[in-house]
């Protein structure tokens, strides 16, 4: 017998019902339904950023809480993450659509020992949307990978992401190595990830902690313009 959900026609739901259904579908890892619903919201005139934050990130927060409370386990969370990425793949080109002039270049990656990449991918997308060039190193990055990319790409900004309390100290290893090599001040260093906070960012010697992707964009813009002003003053 057909399941009740099989009969559900997403396009017939109003916005509020559709977002609630997306929370359920994300929870159940239903990638195709998430992609369809993402497109429906866009077709109804929702801004890509609103679809991202109000439906996808909102749904993922519920998944995160139940993962924390032992109600969901790794395989289910992986399916949810996969569904979220399906929605993000539709939003990515829209968030990146911009006439903004190139703002600067960022190398970003999740630190060694950590395979969480959804937040980092969001930051990368939003930075591209704001006119930054982004070199995404993916997950599990050792200090050498960051330093090599910074040099090869002639980047302005280093972005590091960590989602585990056990991996966040590795950010300090990267920054300390930059100091040892005398290159720390050549780059703007921004850090982010759910377990971090402003105090931690300061303590490890980052230029700023970014609470979310939108803050990362604003902070990056702010630091780039400070750098330009400093360079002009020194010229």
Residues near ligand B1M (CB under 6 A) = 57, 60, 63-64, 67-68, 74, 77-78, 81, 108, 113-120, 122-123, 159-161, 163-165, 190-195, 210, 212-213, 216
- Token code pair at residue 98: 């911009």
| Shortest distance in whole angstroms from residue 119 CB to ligand B1M | 2
- DSSP, collapsed to helix, strand or coil, labels residue 230 as helix
Cα–Cα distances (Å) from 41 to 6, 90, 112, 155, 168, in that order, read 20, 11, 37, 36, 36
Nearer to ligand B1M, 40 or 84 (CB): 84
- Residue with smaller CB distance to ligand B1M, 21 or 161: 161
Q: Smallest distance, Å, CB 189 to ligand B1M? A: 9
| 8-state DSSP, 102 | P
- Closest distance of CB 19 from ligand B1M, Å: 16
Closest CA to 108 of 211, 197, 170, 190: 190
Task: State how far the Cα of 198 lies from the Cα of 196, in Å rounded to an integer.
Answer: 7
To the nearest whole angstrom, how small is the minimum distance from the Cβ of residue 140 to ligand B1M? 8
Give the nearest distance from C-beta 52 to ligand B1M in angstroms. Answer: 9
What is the spatial distance between Cα 216 and Cα 212, in angstroms, rounded to a whole number?
A: 6
* Tokens of residue 112, six digits: 């060694």
Whichever of 48 and 119 has its CB closer to ligand B1M, that residue is 119
DSSP character at residue 3? -
200/81 Cα distance (integer angstroms): 27
Cβ nearer to ligand B1M, comparing 37 with 191: 191
Is the Cβ of residue 36 or residue 114 nearer to ligand B1M in the bound state? Answer: 114
């Amino acid at each position: 017998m057909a399941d009740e959900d099989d009969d559900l026609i997403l396009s017939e739901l109003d916005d509020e019902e559709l977002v609630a259904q997306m929370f359920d579908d994300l929870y159940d890892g239903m990638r195709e339904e998430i992609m369809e619903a993402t497109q429906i919201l866009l077709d109804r005139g929702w801004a890509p950023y609103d679809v991202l934050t109000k439906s996808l990130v909102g749904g993922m927060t519920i998944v995160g809480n139940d993962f924390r409370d032992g109600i969901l386990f790794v395989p289910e969370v992986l399916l949810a993450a996969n569904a979220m990425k399906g929605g993000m793949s539709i939003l990515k080109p829209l968030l990146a659509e911009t006439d903004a002039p190139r703002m600067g270049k960022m190398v970003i990656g999740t630190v060694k020992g950590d395979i969480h990449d959804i937040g980092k991918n969001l930051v990368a997308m939003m930075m591209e949307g704001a006119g930054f060039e982004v070199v995404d190193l993916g997950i599990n990055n050792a200090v050498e990978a960051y330093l090599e990319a910074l040099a090869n790409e002639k980047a302005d900004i280093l972005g590091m992401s960590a989602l585990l309390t056990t991996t966040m100290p590795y950010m300090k290893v990267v920054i300390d190595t930059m100091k040892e090599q005398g290159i720390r001040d050549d780059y703007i260093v921004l850090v982010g990830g759910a377990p971090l906070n402003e105090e931690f960012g300061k303590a490890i010697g980052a230029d700023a902690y970014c609470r979310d992707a939108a803050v990362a964009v604003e902070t990056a813009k702010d630091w780039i313009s400070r750098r330009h002003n400093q360079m002009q003053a020194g010229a």
